Every structure is written in C-alpha cells, then in structure tokens.
C-alpha cells in the first residue's frame, strides 16, 4: 500500500537542499544509467491515478483532431496532458540538479 503525506513547500525546499554524498557504496550515477533503470518488480509501481470529471473548454479544431483518431479521444487528450506535465517536471528537476551542481 502506497501512502504519502502532503509536503509543505518548506519541506520540499529542505529536501532539495539536503547535501548528497557519494562513495564506493553509493556512486554518482550518470544520466544514461538513471534513464536505463527499471523497477525490480514493476507490478508494484502501477499506481492508477484517480479520474475526476471536469468541464474543459478547448479549441474546436483540437477536439476534432483528437476525435478523428477514433474512440478513446478523451484518453488520448489525458495522455497528451500527462506527457506535457511529465516533461515540464523533468525540466524543473534537471534545472534544480544543474543549479545544485553550480553551488
């Protein structure tokens, strides 16, 4: 069972600023090594997000394009939004890491 507590902005900042130490037992990994990492038991990492019904106004041509791909257009819109969210989060994370490396 996965449980989490909401983190305050102060706690997130403290975690981001916590010093990282590397040694032979915990070496610094390259970006390539991290990208190739996979969970040992992927079935434990399948956490389904909770779906929420909302009303969303989008441009008619955008909706028409998603609908031309057939059934499941709402799922495809959700995936496009999720992919954008993940890419934005990766950029923020890499920016934080590069800022940390400069100090």
Q: What's the pLDDT score for residue 54?
A: 92
More confident residue, 37 or 95: 37
Smallest CA-to-CA distance from 66 within 80, 50, 83 is with 80
User: For 13-40, what is each residue's pLDDT tens digit?
Assistant: 898 999 989 999 999 999 999 989 888 8
Q: From the CA atom positions of the chain, what is the Rg in Å?
A: 19
Q: What's the pLDDT score for residue 5?
A: 66
- Supply the range of the domain harboring residue 57: 9-102
Q: What's the pLDDT score for residue 33?
A: 92
User: For 31-86, what is each residue's pLDDT tens digit?
Assistant: 999 989 888 887 777 777 778 899 999 999 999 999 999 999 999 999 999 899 88
Domain-embedded: residue 1: no
CB 76 within 8 A of CB 69: yes
pTM for this predicted structure: 0.46
Domain-embedded: residue 57: yes
Domain-embedded: residue 26: yes
Tell me: pLDDT of 97 over 60. Answer: no
d(CA 68, CA 27): 49
Domain-embedded: residue 2: no
CB 76 within 8 A of CB 66: yes
d(CA 98, CA 103): 9
Q: What is the dihedral of CA 2, 8, 13, 14, to 10 degrees?
A: -80
Domain-embedded: residue 73: yes
């Amino acid at each position: 069972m996965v449980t989490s507590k909401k983190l305050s902005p102060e706690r997130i900042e403290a975690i981001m600023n916590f010093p990282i130490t590397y040694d032979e037992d915990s070496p610094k990994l390259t970006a390539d090594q991290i990208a190739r990492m996979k969970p040992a038991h992927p079935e434990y990492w399948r956490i389904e997000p909770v779906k929420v019904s909302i009303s969303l106004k989008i441009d008619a041509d955008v909706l028409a394009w998603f609908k031309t791909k057939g059934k499941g257009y709402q799922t495809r819109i959700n995936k496009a939004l999720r992919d954008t969210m993940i890419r934005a989060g990766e950029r923020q994370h890499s920016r934080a890491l590069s800022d940390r490396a400069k100090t």
